[in-house]
Amino acid sequence: MKICSPEGQAVSEKLLQAVSRPERLQGLRIGFLDNTKAPVDKMLAHIDKRLQERLPGIRTFHASKSSMAVPATAQVMGELRANADVLINALGD
Amino acid sequence: MISTPFVGLARNQARVLGLPSLPTVVLDHPIAGVAIDKVLARVDAALDEIIAKLTTALPAPDIAAVASNRLRCERIELAQADEWSDLQIEFAARGWSDGLPLVPPTEARVSAMVGGSGLRADLVIGEVAPKMGVATVECIAINAVMAGCQPEHMPLLVTVVQAMTDPIFNLKTIQATTHPVAPLLIVGGPLAQRLNINCGSGLFGPGPWSNGVIGRAIRLILLNIGGGHPGEIDKATMGQPGKFSYCIAENEAASPWPSLRAERGFAAEVSTVTMLDAEAPHNINDHESTTAGGLLTTIAGTMAQNGQNNVYYAGEPLLLLSPEHAATIAGDGFSKDDVKRSIYEDARIPMSRFSRENIERRLWRFLPKRYLNRPPHTGVTVAQCWKDIMVIVAGGPGKHSMAVPTCAGSRSVTKPILKPDGSPWLPSDFQEPVSG
């Protein structure tokens, strides 16, 4: 029997070229994006503290989504681009 | 950073969003609800990996991994699957199944289904999250065949896909969240009866009408085109029965008030479908109250429960009033807006009913203007404003209404069911009664 597949194809999946990664974090600006899931804010603050202890001279910048259920706004992403060289994000419960 | 059950979802989204090699650090699940010192110990243990992942070069993009541009659904020869039972096994093995028997989507059935739409087979209606699969008319029709739909259902199904892929509906979250949400179809207007969509007794239940197959077709579209496979991408902790099929019509004939579509500006001859990010419905039993005030006291009391998303996030909780309850309330001079205002004011949960953690980390954080440092008797609302509460009349004889909380980050979308020339589909456009 010949049948039709119900799977919709993705027309053209985007493929982004990532910017080159830094070889070390010293002197860089570390960004943190809180997805508002519990207890991500405390986890990211803890990573911030530990990184500051281990890598003196780094700067950090924190941003938050308005809700876990929606994407970060263009404003939040713009602030991260302006204030961070690398970003730590969190997903899930 | 991801907790273990969400790795598949994260990898899927990294690929869909264009960076399949996105570095990830996986922490043991669960995170929420665990003592913070234990969570931070896991973070400490992962710190070297976090630093390494931030400073390790990513592999070059794999161009070959990019999907080809195909708007015609694949044809598959199933040489060993001529028997009905063999086909069902084959469908399940391919991940196409909702667990119930499926109608084989043969070329002839699909062609007839496409014909019901009045549209070209390769016309793109939308991209269905989170896979962002392309919902062509043909692909919608294939899933409609598998669900057991009739060609006459196609204009509605196409409109539903238009509504679900509206960005304000936020389908990506609805498809992937741990919350037990399913898109609820609320059909209004003259087509509802013509398409045999039940708005009366037992409208959420089984019966010889079209609600079941229409809702099922949408679930198959979410599964097969949107990639919302349970456990892998659909991370619902519990799910709910509405994830099989969730389609009703508004009982406009029994309503003393303007219909939902009239509230939203559509003319009487224009049929519509409204999509809502809905939890399962919950009963509101009141056989004794004989006044609007009495009934609304029961309704507000039922809707004011503190485990729902609507207390923390803007949403549109839905109240389905039975015709008898609606008549009693309207008989006391209440408009639909009066009902909404009454629920907004009275369906409140004292903050003392919330745990300290939820007060501090949800109510104070997300809604500080309303709740920060307020006394324990402060009432927490189930909507952010009275206009966000949706009210329709539905069901048959009896003293049971229903309340449906919603998820988060989504707004309901109402779309008219239109022909290619922009005029509304009318009951007279269909030749024979449609059976479910």
Query: What are φ and ψ of residue B338, in 5° steps?
Result: -60, -40
- Asked if pLDDT for residue A18 goes beyond 80, the answer is no
The answer to whether A7 contacts B138, with C-beta atoms less than 8 Å apart, is no
**Between vectors from CA B146 to CA B145 and to CA B147, what angle results, nearest 5°?**
90
Strand partners, B379: B350
The model's pLDDT over B330-339, given as tens digits with 9 standing for 90+, comes to 999 999 999 9
Within its chain, how far is the Cα of B82 from the centroid? Answer: 35
Please give the pLDDT value at position B96.
Answer: 96
State how far residue A71 is from chain B, nearest Cα, in angstroms.
Answer: 9
State how far the Cα of B293 lies from the Cα of B285, in Å rounded to an integer. 15
- Within B326-399, strands assigned E span 348-350, 379-381, 390-393
What residues have CB less than 8 Å from B83, skipping those under 6 apart? none
For B360, the closest chain A residue by CA position comes to A38
- Asked if pLDDT for residue A21 goes beyond 70, the answer is yes
- Asked if pLDDT for residue B434 goes beyond 90, the answer is no
pLDDT, mean of residues B274-285: 98
Residue in B24, B55, B114, B157 to test binding to A, most A beta-carbons within 10 Å: B55
The model's pLDDT over B47-96, given as tens digits with 9 standing for 90+, comes to 999 999 999 888 776 555 554 556 788 999 987 777 888 999 999 999 99
The answer to whether A13 contacts B409, with C-beta atoms less than 8 Å apart, is no
Query: Where are the domains positioned within chain B?
Result: 2-65, 84-279+410-436, 281-347+382-406
pLDDT, mean of residues B7-14: 88
- Asked if pLDDT for residue B433 goes beyond 60, the answer is no
pLDDT, mean of residues B12-34: 88
Which has more pLDDT, A13 or B289?
Answer: B289
- Beta carbons of B311 and B381 less than 8 angstroms apart: yes
B390 in helix, strand or coil? strand
- Residue B279's alpha-carbon distances to B226, B238, B270, in angstroms, are 20, 11, 27
Please give the pLDDT value at position B45.
Answer: 96
Mean pLDDT over each residue of chain B, to the nearest integer: 94
State how far residue B341 is from chain A, nearest Cα, in angstroms.
Answer: 26
Q: Where are the alpha helices (DSSP H) in B55-208?
A: 84-93, 107-115, 137-147, 154-164, 171-176, 190-194
How many residues appear in chain B?
Answer: 436
Please give the pLDDT value at position B83.
Answer: 85
The CATH class, in words, for B281-347+382-406 is alpha beta
* ipTM metric: 0.90
The model's pLDDT over B331-372, given as tens digits with 9 standing for 90+, comes to 999 999 999 999 999 999 999 999 999 999 999 999 999 999
Residue in B37, B73, B235 to test binding to A, most A beta-carbons within 10 Å: B73
State how far the Cα of B200 lies from the Cα of B40, in Å rounded to an integer. 54
State how far the Cα of B388 lies from the Cα of B408, in Å rounded to an integer. 13
pLDDT, mean of residues B142-147: 98
State how far the Cα of B121 lies from the Cα of B60, in Å rounded to an integer. 37
- Beta carbons of B36 and A44 less than 8 angstroms apart: no
For A39, the closest chain B residue by CA position comes to B32
- Beta carbons of B97 and B88 less than 8 angstroms apart: yes
The fraction of chain B above a pLDDT of 70, given in percent, is: 96
